Chains A and B, each alone.
Chain A
Amino acid sequence: DIQMTQSPSSLSASVGDRVTITCRASQSISNYLNWYQQKPGKAPKLLIYVASALESGVPSRFSGSGSGTDFTLTISSLQPEDFATYYCQRSYGTPLTFGGGTKVEIK
């Protein structure tokens, strides 16, 4: 099975900071990569699909890039409501594996 590895597992940042989260696949998955945001006690929310397409209603400060095995989620200017855990997910073939998550905390 293809493994999805996120880094870092957690980070501390301040409002206004640029934040980058990395997801690496154990083999090429082309651009079949999605990103989700999850806040405590809530269901995940889709942010980005096929590596770089912004889901409707998601603020433009979120962006995704990458292909093959290496992908990034960037938040251009961190806002208070962005403190959450972020997950990448492979979206081709099964199992539809998630990464381990990156918790973004307030510095």
Chain B
Amino acid sequence: EVQLVESGGGLVQPGGSLRLSCATSGFTFITYWMTWVRQAPGKGLEWVANIKQDGSEKYYVDSVKGRFTISRDNAKNSFFLQMTSLRAEDTAVYYCARAVRGGSVFDYWGQGTLVTVSS
């Protein structure tokens, strides 16, 4: 059974940092693109970043470029989102997901972890 489990969310002050983790199981992790998608409270979905199988390609939405970094550890079947210079508008539930068809179709999702940026 494919499983993705996020961790690392919480309350952080504006300007602070947080690292999200996504632990995966039930599939051959090294053969898949992986992605992060977020959803602000009461709002729609926003793609944040994705990473190729070997980590050689990474893409970000403009609003997080230079502040967020996606990475992966294929030995541990996990990937991460390092978030710095956090802003109130980064407050959201962050979902990790497996991506197929060149990293652009999200077929399995985690349950989400809430990040709240507030003083």
Contacts and interface: CB of A to CB of B under 8 A. Distances in A.
B109 A97 contact: no
A95 B61 contact: yes
Chain A interface residue number, banded: 20 to 34
Given A43-B95, A44-B95, A96-B50, A34 B61 contact: no
Contacts of B59: 94-95
Given A43-B109, A43-B110, A55-B107, A98 B45 contact: yes
Interface SS majority for chain A: loop
Nearest to A93: B104
B63 to A, nearest CB: 9
A49 B45 contact: no
B104 A46 contact: no
A87 interface: yes
Contacts of B111: 42-43
Contacts of A96: 35, 47, 50, 104
A49 B101 contact: yes
Interface in B3-22: none
A50 B101 contact: yes
Interface in A52-107: 55, 87, 89, 91-92, 94-101
Contacts of B101: 49-50, 91
A96 B112 CA distance: 19
A98 B62 contact: no
B45 A44 contact: yes
A95 B47 contact: yes
A38 B44 CA distance: 10
Interface of A: 1, 32, 34, 36, 38, 42-46, 49-50, 55, 87, 89, 91-92, 94-101
Interface of B: 35, 37, 44-47, 50, 59-62, 95, 97, 101, 104-107, 109-112
6 contacts: A34-B104, A46-B107, A94-B59, A95-B59, A95-B62, A98-B45
Q: Which 4 A-B pairs have the closest CB atoms?
A: A91-B104, A43-B109, A96-B47, A98-B45
